Amino acid sequence: MKRRSFLATAGAGLAAGAIAKPAIAQSMPEIRWRLTSGFPKSLDTIYGGAEFLAKYVSAATDGKFQIQPFSAGEIVGTFQAADAVAGGTVEMSHTATYYYVGKDPTYAAAAALPFTLNARQLNAWNYHGGGIALVNEFMAKQNLYALPGGNTGTQMGGWFRKEIKTVDDLKGLKMRIAGIAGQVMQKLGAIPQQVAGGDIYPSLERGTIDAAEWIGPYDDEKLGFQKVAPYYYYPGFWEGGLTIHFLFNKQKWESLPKNYQAILESACMAANLDMLAKYDAKNPAALRSLVASGAQLRPFSQEILDAAYKATNEVYAEISAQNADFKKIVDSIRAFRNEEYLWFQVAEYAFDTYMIRARTRG
């Protein structure tokens, strides 16, 4: 009897052991997601952020969590990415949220606002100034969850087919420009156009647009803008830094195991750092190459910058009066900006100003 009892007990124990899964296996399920990018695959910097994240997540989960990136247009176009994620067509996206300014200007506030923060300051606001939480108060209403996943640094002011010396030269100018910046330029007389990155060159070549801003020397050279619009202006006052976001379907994000959420958070932060570092490393040589091939560098005049600053504040006031979500974010960013430049004007400004002069001395 004792032998039969032992065998029965042992058998039950073995069966239970065969059925039970180790805790580590339960927390590392096999998951396959699709990611739609807002950018063409030819741009290894900005599109590359999605590839960076996919490799990071796969390595951190021993291949259990696979994310497959698709370039803009392979599943949906650049301007449909947010809707595709919110609606569950894909689980996530990597994009500049100001592309969806037409849906709600708060999308643009999450990405870049004229005359506000540079890349380092944006990261400070996002990670330590409550920015991520504020952005996600809005994104939750869109069935999205957002994390910073890249930054371009301060951008150039764009490519123009003719010289732009005064505000009058902007009147009637058809310019590819995204986000709130389009509304600012409209106040100055330009006609803003929404054009996806891969369509800018043919639009300039055909004369459908007269000018276009994209990012900066490295990407701009890859897209060949200097061949069709020789005047290269700076600075891109509308983007002291552009936060690129990873957008997640809210239900899909919340359904992930906590350890997968933590891995994604770390991967997004690493992708954010990596993209900015790539642009800083690659832009100097690209700028030299562009100038050597005929690009004519021009600064925006003080008249244009002052007029744009005034117009920007008018746009902020007009939108804030009608949109509480936008106002909450823009007020937070502007208050943070004022404190940041209190600091930046001391050590940072003094150091950078000296080094700009000193570099020519070797």
Has residue 263 been placed in a domain? Answer: yes
Task: Look at residue 14 in the predicted model and tell me its pLDDT.
Answer: 38
Task: Look at residue 26 in the predicted model and tell me its pLDDT.
Answer: 61
Question: Can you say how many angstroms the Cα of residue 292 is from the centroid of all Cα atoms in its chain?
Answer: 29
Domain extent, residue 54, equals 31-152+241-281
What is residue 67's three-state secondary structure?
A: strand
Contact 119, 85 (CB under 8 A): no
221 is in an annotated binding site: no
318 is in an annotated binding site: no
The residue type at 344 = F
33 is in an annotated binding site: no
Task: Look at residue 24 in the predicted model and tell me its pLDDT.
Answer: 55
Has residue 140 been placed in a domain? Answer: yes
213 is in an annotated binding site: yes
Has residue 162 been placed in a domain? Answer: no
Distance CA 78, CA 90 (A): 13
Distance CA 115, CA 181 (A): 10
Q: What is the CATH number of the domain that holds 123?
A: 3.40.190.170
Task: Look at residue 25 in the predicted model and tell me its pLDDT.
Answer: 54
Contact 152, 216 (CB under 8 A): yes
Give the gyration radius of the chain's Cα atoms.
24
Has residue 165 been placed in a domain? Answer: no
Has residue 187 been placed in a domain? Answer: no
Number of domains in the chain: 1
Has residue 223 been placed in a domain? Answer: no
C-alpha dist (Å) from residue 22 to 16, 25, 28, 69, 94? 12, 5, 10, 31, 34
Task: Look at residue 178 in the predicted model and tell me its pLDDT.
Answer: 84
238 is in an annotated binding site: no
Distance CA 345, CA 233 (A): 24
Low pLDDT (below 50) residues in the chain: 1-22
Q: Which of 11, 178, 28 is nearest to 110 (CA)?
A: 178
Task: Look at residue 361 in the predicted model and tell me its pLDDT.
Answer: 78
Contact 288, 297 (CB under 8 A): no
Has residue 334 been placed in a domain? Answer: no
Has residue 117 been placed in a domain? Answer: yes
